[in-house]
Structure 1
Amino acid sequence: MLLCFSSSHRTADFDLLERLERNAPAVSAALAEHSEVVAGSVVLATCNRFEAYLDIDEPLPAARAVSAEAVIDAVSAASGIAADELRSASSVYCDDAVAEHLFAVSSGLESVVVGEGEIAGQVRRSLENARAAGTVTNDLERLFQDASRTSRGVKNRTGIMTAGRSMVRLALELAESRISDWAQARVLLVGTGKYAGASLAALRDKGSEDVRVFSPSGRAAKFAHSHDILPVEADGLVEALAESDLVVTCSAVTDHVLTPAIMTAAQNLPGTRERRLVIDLGLPRNVDPAVAGLPGVELLDLETISLHAPLEELNAADDAREIVDAAAAEFAAKRAEQAVTPALVALRKHVFDVLDAEIERARGRGDSSEQTEAALRHLAGVLLHTPSVRARELARQGEAQAFVDGASALFGLDVEPAAPRLSAVVRDIADESAAS
């Protein structure tokens, strides 16, 4: 059974998402330890969502609520967030609905800014991290591979990726009214990861020429050299802040880089800028929210930026949703076909066992030839083709058990019953708990 625990900008505030993101490694480890319930897991942690995609051992419908509660307890214990708080700010997706949700997420349909380009790479990296940790099962591998294919299809066949704007570019658009001349504005970039690279590219697109970079982890010089900008030394943060009109933070550190004390020290330096815009793109937050209370400082954080996210580009979003729905339906159909695989294997084995026994008896009578044996094996394959096709058709129609029962009745095959499949439903975790 596939299950997804999801807490996103649609269900939770950014404080909760920040705490979950900060504890993502601990949550991943905790889920891996619950091998009695969780066969495999992939954790996706971004600035807008925290999701755990799980392969649950027990396929029975009755296990759905129990499994969801076990996952909630594991996440709660690892993150230090109360289980009731997680329940009220999260959703659980089961079985086929997991694929539909992930395909929509990876295609940018569930992002704050519909069509954002970063999410596909984040989904891909979450799978790579799970592979490295050894927590990926075959079902999860297929799920995430199909998600990547779907997002590429959406990107290539719709205009949603170009219609949508990334969080970085949206933040800079919101800053337009505060920055009169991008070429003259002095910008301080805090962070040196991939998000910092995207931020620098967006700044340059706006016309920024005076950009310096500071790294809490000491990587400023390397980043600056590779991007042709100036680095800020480890002890130069306060002075760099004093000289900056715009500060963009996108570091992966877990502690606040900018605090009221640091900002006040910058404001007290001779020649400091009277007004300063700070854009905090970090999750966890790079900037203490109390900084916004200082005179002359305006703070745009992820929560504020998300309130200004544009409406969906309707045509592009509708086209993308059709692609996602079709991909999810095909994923569900392929999973349904797995229910008849044991019966098909048993039927094929039965037919060829009978064939081999007859050929062996013919050899004993001296009336067999290679040409006859080859013809008989070909005939057996031809006869098995139609039942194989029909079995998959029945499975896609939700009638897998009908084929299993028919094969058992006609040929006396001992086939394990097809596992019950859950309907593609989405419910709040609180509802799941109430149903148990």
Structure 2
Amino acid sequence: MVLLSLTASHHELDLDALERLSTGSLSVGRTVVGSCRPVQGTVVISTCNRFELYLDVDAPLDGDTVRHATRHVAELVAESSGVTPEAAAASFTVRSGTEVAEHLFAVASGLDSMVVGEREIAGQVKRALAESRADGTTSKTLELLFQTASRTSKRIGRSTALGGAGRSLVAVGLDLAGRSMRPYPLSRAVIIGTGAYAGAAVAALRARGCNDIRVYSQSGRAQSFAASHGTGAVGVDTESLVEALGDTDLVVSCSGARRRAPGPTAEVVPGAEASLAYVLDAASVARARDRAAARAGDEPEPDALVILDLALHRDVEPSVADVEGVLLYDLASLTTHAPATERVVVDQARAMVRDAAALFEETRMGRAADAAVVELLDEAEREVAVEVGDALARLSAELAPHGQVPTASDHDEIARSVRRRVHAALHDRIVAVRATALAEARAAEAAVVRGAERALRAVPVTD
């Protein structure tokens, strides 16, 4: 078995490239498991700043199976997202062994996020595993990996200052918005979307004293979300949203629900920017601002409308920033305002991640090491048997002149003494053999993955 991850995040790609890569990502996990027999399981994490596939590959150590599976996955990602196979392959970082666990544990703990220490990612990692279970694409190894990631995240949250910092993209955005609008207790907010970020936004707004919150969704879930979160529902069509924006101070958009536009633009090559319709475009926002100005009459100009676009697949058309009286912050701009985290806190959390990853990997690779230890123990038992036989022979020779023979008690006492001495001397050898077996297994797996990474750069595959 080889544990493999293909990851692309805001560290390696700009957000536009990451958005194109992750388009259609929800179906990739099912497709990979269904079409590539060696892949025993897969979990996909697709968030506002990352697209990652974790693969459990049943492969021999010659690496051919892993290389083929890796190339195949890159082609499937390319097909689903509308990018070329070469672009998909070039976008991924390939990890294996301890690197896989260490990376995932860091992600789940918020150490790899745009806002270091953000807590929403822990829930997204858990949901990725839950979705994999629902699709029937997980495996025992991936279950253990992701469950350990969640436990590590919780432990870091409890044990370090990172967990109490309250950092998140939502918090950064609301802090930034608060500088340009009325106090939150006097403000009205509209949330676009009904997912995890929407729920986090409601909680964060209420914590700041804002209770006039409404939700909009094209999915039809606005009413149920409003009922469960105690908010108002705007509606499900564009006009109802535009009407709501006329007396709104803040929009938090986090649906990621851009859709293929009807008409001629639907024929554009999949993945092209022009083929995706924004949830909120410049014309709609301008119309809402005009209505707000008309209602104000001779009164002072309405306050600025602040829009936070937290979706990777942008909900809000970038040209909305050009509408008079509107302040638009997207993921890239919010990242520049993220607070710095103390180095000592990050180092403490990363040390915990490394320890957890090493322990996980030792457990996962333990079968090879255990086999070597069992062989050593069998060898020790053979040594014990020989030494006990020799000791009994000497005792028999001593007792023979007296007409006596060793008793069962003599046999047991000699066996206990010999076994105690042999096993005491065996401890250091067990530690050394186990370490060597683990190192050899890791080296073999690393060699396989290096070959897989080279093959990934060589897509497309035709066999």
Deviations 1:96-135 (A, max 9, x none): 2111111111111111111111111211121121122222
TM (norm. structure 2) is 0.76
What letter is aligned with 1:393? V
Deviations 1:231-283 (A, max 9, x none): 22335211101111211112252332212232233233232746311111123
What letter is aligned with 1:118? E
CA distance in 2, matches of 1:36, 1:383: 50
Determine which structure has more spread, i.e. the larger CA radius of gyration: 2
Give the alignment of 1:4-153 within 5 angstroms: 4-60=5-61, 62-63=63-64, 67-153=69-155
CA distance in 1, matches of 2:452, 2:340: 25
* SS of the residue 2:102 aligns to: helix
| Alpha-carbon contact 1:260-1:290 (below 8 Å) kept | yes
The answer for the alignment partner of 1:222 in structure 2 is: 224
Identity across the alignment (%): 39
- Alpha carbons of structure 1 residues 299 and 310: separation in structure 2 relative to 1, 3 Å: same
CA distance in 2, matches of 1:425, 1:58: 11
What letter is aligned with 1:307? T
The answer on 1:260 being equivalent to 2:261 is no
Deviation at 1:424, TM superposition (A): 12
Deviation at 1:152, TM superposition (A): 1.6
What letter is aligned with 2:34? E
The answer for the alignment partner of 2:391 in structure 1 is: none
What letter is aligned with 2:128? S
Give the alignment of 1:401-416 within 5 angstroms: none
Give the alignment of 1:177-326 within 5 angstroms: 177-235=179-237, 236-255=240-259, 256-269=278-291, 270-271=294-295, 273=302, 275-326=304-355
| Alpha-carbon contact 1:163-1:313 (below 8 Å) kept | no
- Structure 1 residue runs without a partner (length 5+): 356-373, 403-416
* SS of the residue 1:177 aligns to: coil
What letter is aligned with 1:331? F
Deviation at 1:56, TM superposition (A): 1.9
Aligned residues: 405
Q: Which of the residues 336, 357, 374 maps onto 2:365?
A: 336
Deviation at 1:18, TM superposition (A): 2.5
| Alpha-carbon contact 1:115-1:160 (below 8 Å) kept | yes
* SS of the residue 2:116 aligns to: coil
| Alpha-carbon contact 2:242-2:288 (below 8 Å) kept | yes
Deviations 1:291-344 (A, max 9, x none): 222222221111221222222221211111111111111122223321144566
- Alpha carbons of structure 1 residues 36 and 231: separation in structure 2 relative to 1, 3 Å: closer
| Alpha-carbon contact 1:3-1:92 (below 8 Å) kept | yes
* SS of the residue 1:244 aligns to: coil
* SS of the residue 2:341 aligns to: coil
What letter is aligned with 1:399? A
CA distance in 1, matches of 2:18, 2:455: 21
* SS of the residue 1:305 aligns to: helix
| Alpha-carbon contact 1:252-1:284 (below 8 Å) kept | yes
Of 63-72 and 227-236, deviating more is: 63-72
TM (norm. structure 1) is 0.80
Deviation at 1:163, TM superposition (A): 2.4
* SS of the residue 1:160 aligns to: coil
| Alpha-carbon contact 2:373-2:434 (below 8 Å) kept | no
Q: Which of the residues 409, 430, 444 maps onto 1:420?
A: 444
CA distance in 2, matches of 1:424, 1:154: 32
- Alpha carbons of structure 1 residues 218 and 138: separation in structure 2 relative to 1, 3 Å: closer
- Alpha carbons of structure 1 residues 314 and 31: separation in structure 2 relative to 1, 3 Å: same
What letter is aligned with 1:17? L
Deviation at 1:147, TM superposition (A): 1.3
| Alpha-carbon contact 1:42-1:126 (below 8 Å) kept | yes
CA distance in 2, matches of 1:201, 1:78: 34
The answer for the alignment partner of 2:437 in structure 1 is: 399
What letter is aligned with 2:44? V
What letter is aligned with 1:189? I
Deviation at 1:382, TM superposition (A): 9.0
Deviation at 1:385, TM superposition (A): 7.8
- Alpha carbons of structure 1 residues 209 and 136: separation in structure 2 relative to 1, 3 Å: closer
